[in-house]
């Protein structure tokens, strides 16, 4: 069963059409990646799924419910969690407090502690900085914190926007390994990434967006061999 179903959505910013008619569905436990140039509509698609933007036409169905009937703040407890681009962390709170905020809607203290340990194992850097004010972290460290906070909210569907942005190459490897780990625990992942090569390597399925439409789609293993894509996105 598809746990996330996007059906012909059209999104506008004012009068500018950002998405015209995007449809796809994501099965439970899959990693699906959206790739494409800047301004192709990747982030807009994520924002429509996480309820930040309302599509003018079309529907988004999460766990077989219409998104239009769910309030944005109800999405996280339902398990839909977005890691926004640009590291929107709580910059005046400490690293530890940021992580706790991720688990804001959860009650089970034991499970929360377990997840916290998992995050700190994934990003040892964060353990060193637990008491530091998050705003004083370096850019890459903030990126790790944003991911960590998302994992703390025990997601069922994780929407990742450019997780590799601003990370050192060695960390990019680590982050993508942990994304695969997260998937193994049954989390479904929708991944937006400029580093298309890495994204396609870990994804099951990929969609190439071009000016608000799906230009190409297919199993990631096939896309990675596609000559056009190699030329345009893999460098």
Partner 1 sequence: MAQNTLLHTNALVKRFGGLVAIDSLDLDVKERTIHSIIGPNGAGKTTVFNCIMNFFPITSGEIRLSGERLNDLTPDRVATRGIGRTYQNIRLFRNMSALENIMVGMHIHLKSSWWGAVLRTRRTLADEKAGQDEAVRLLQYVGLRGKGDILARNLPYGDQRRLEIARALAMKPKLLLLDEPTAGMNPSESQDMVTFIRGLRDELGITILLIEHHMPVVMGMSDIVTVLDHGVKISEGTPDHVKRDKKVIEAYLGTGVAHT
Partner 2 sequence: MAFDVVASTFQHKAITKTAPRRAIEVGLMGFGLMIYFNLVGLIGQFMERFIIEGLATLAHTVFLGIAIGVGGLTSHRLLNETVTRRYLYSALAGLISGCSLAVLVFVIDHAQGAIFGAEFDVRFMFVALSPKLLDFLTFGTAPENAVFYHLIGGVVLGLFGALLYHLPNVLRRPLIGGLAAVWFIGLFSELIQLAMQFEVVDDFRNFFFTWEGQTEQGAVTVFVITFAIMAFVTHRGDAVMTGFRAMPSSGQKSARYALYLLAVVLFLLFPMAAGSFFGQVLMLVGLYALMGMGLNIEIGLAGLLDMGFVAFFATGAYTIALFTTSTEDVACVTPPCDYLIQIFDDRSLTWWEALPIAMIASLVMGVLFGIPVLKVRGDYLAVATLGLGEIIRVVVVSDMAAPMLGGSQGILAIPRPHLFGFEFSDPIQLFYLTLVSTIVAAYFAWALENSRLGRAWMAIREDEDVGQALGVNLINVKLLAYGLGAVFAGLAGAIFAAMLASIYPHSFQLLISINILALIIVGGIGSLPGVVVGSLMLIGTPELLREFGEFRFLAYGIVLVVMMRVKPLGLWPSSVRKRELQSVEEAEALIKQRTQGQKA
Among 99, 159, 198, 209, binds partner 1 (CB under 8 A): 198
Q: Of the ranges 30-38, 64-72, 103-111, 217-225, which one interacts with partner 1 (CB under 8 A)? A: 30-38
CA distance linking residue 224 with residue 63, whole number of Å:
30
> Structure tokens of 68?
């239009």
Instruction: State in angstroms the smallest separation of the CB of 232 from partner 1.
Output: 6
Helix, strand, coil percentages, rounded to 5, for the chain:
40, 30, 30
| β-pairing verdict for 205-210 and 213-219 | antiparallel
Interface map 45-84 toward partner 2 (x if CB under 8 A): ------xxxx-------------xx-xx------------
Measured from the CB atom, is 54 or 216 closer to partner 2?
54
Q: Does 116 participate in binding partner 1 (rule CB under 8 A)?
A: no
Sheet of 213-219: strands edge to edge?
Answer: 80-83, 157-161, 188-192, 31-36, 205-210, 213-219
If DSSP codes are grouped into helix, strand and coil, which group holds residue 157? Answer: strand
Please tell me the distance from the alpha carbon of residue 207 to that of residue 197, in angstroms, as a whole number. 13
Q: Given the rule CB under 8 A, which of 60-68, 93-101, 133-141, 152-160 is the region that contacts partner 1? A: 133-141
- Identity of the residue, 54 or 93, whose beta carbon is nearer to partner 2 in the bound complex: 54
Which one of partner 1, partner 2, none is in contact with 87 (Cβ closer than 5 to 8 A by kind)? partner 1
Is 56 strand, coil or helix?
coil
Spatial distance between the Cα atoms of 91 and 97, rounded to a whole number of angstroms: 10
Q: Which does 38 bind (CB under 5 to 8 A by kind): partner 2, partner 1, none?
A: partner 1
Assign 191 to helix, strand or coil: strand
* Nearer residue to partner 1 within complex by CB, 78 or 201: 201
What residues make contact with partner 2 under the rule CB under 8 A? 51-54, 68-69, 71-72
What residues make contact with partner 1 under the rule CB under 8 A? 35-39, 85-87, 125, 136-141, 143-144, 162, 164-174, 176, 194-198, 201, 231-235
């Amino acid at each position: 069963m598809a746990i996330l179903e996007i059906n012909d959505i059209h999104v506008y910013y004012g009068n500018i059409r950002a998405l015209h008619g995007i449809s796809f569905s994501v099965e439970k436990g899959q990693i699906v990646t959206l790739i494409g140039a800047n301004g192709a509509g990747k982030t807009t698609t994520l924002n429509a799924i996480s309820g930040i933007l309302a599509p003018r036409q079309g529907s988004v169905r999460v766990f077989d419910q219409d998104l239009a009937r769910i309030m944005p703040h109800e999405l996280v407890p339902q398990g839909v969690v977005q890691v926004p681009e640009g590291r929107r962390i709580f910059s005046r709170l400490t690293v530890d407090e940021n992580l706790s905020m991720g688990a804001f809607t959860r009650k089970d203290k034991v499970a929360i502690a377990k997840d916290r340990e998992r995050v700190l194992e994934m990003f040892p850097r964060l353990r060193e900085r637990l008491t530091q004010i998050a705003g004083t972290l370096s850019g890459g460290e903030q990126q790790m914190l944003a991911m960590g906070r998302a994992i703390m909210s025990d997601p069922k569907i994780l929407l990742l926007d450019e997780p590799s942005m601003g990370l050192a190459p060695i960390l990019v490897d680590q982050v993508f390994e942990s994304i695969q780990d997260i998937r193994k625990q049954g989390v479904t992942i929708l991944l937006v990434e400029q580093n298309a090569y890495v994204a396609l390597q870990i994804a099951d399925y990929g969609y190439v967006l071009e000016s608000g439409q799906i230009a190409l789609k297919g199993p990631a293993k096939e896309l990675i061999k596609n000559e056009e894509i190699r030329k345009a996105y893999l460098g």
